[in-house]
Amino acid sequence: MIIFYFSATGNSLSAAKRIGGDLVSIPQVIESEHLEYKDDVIGLIFPIYSLRPPKMVRRFADYVTRNIRYTNKNAKSNYRSYLLKALQNDYGLAMQEDEESARQVVAQEAIKMQAIAQSEAVEQKRRKV
């Protein structure tokens, strides 16, 4: 088992040590060139700051997730080396930005449709008066 951990004052590290396995510090992974980790079980341990994970943990989880999603979407073969390349170059970031732009376009269209529906309702009401 590999446990990625973040710990500012040592409590999360102490919990990780009790669980056992290979412990890997998230700040060290972020700084390091080594991006290949292989195990059947992978854990994540971190404290809660203001009701959510610390920013560094959120950024790390986001970076890993988007590159796994990118690889799931695009890798036709050789998944492992594809994922490594995606992580090294953060290919998932551009995909995530495109998805966000597409979401914004859909949201803007929905707002426009709502405005049209509202003005039509007002017009219908005016005609009835």
Q: Min. distance of Cβ 7 from ligand FMN in angstroms?
A: 3
Question: What is the rounded CA–CA span in Å between residue 108 and residue 16?
Answer: 45
Q: Min. distance of Cβ 30 from ligand FMN in angstroms?
A: 17
Contact positions with ligand FMN (CB under 6 A) in 10-39: 10-12
49: contact with ligand FMN by CB under 6 A: yes
Contact positions with ligand FMN (CB under 6 A) in 50-109: 50-51
Q: What angle do CA 96, 100, 103 make, to 5 degrees?
A: 140
Give the DSSP per-residue string, 46-72. Answer: ---BTTB--HHHHHHHHHHHHHHHHHH
Q: Min. distance of Cβ 56 from ligand FMN in angstroms?
A: 11
Contact residues: ligand FMN, CB under 6 A: 7-12, 47-51
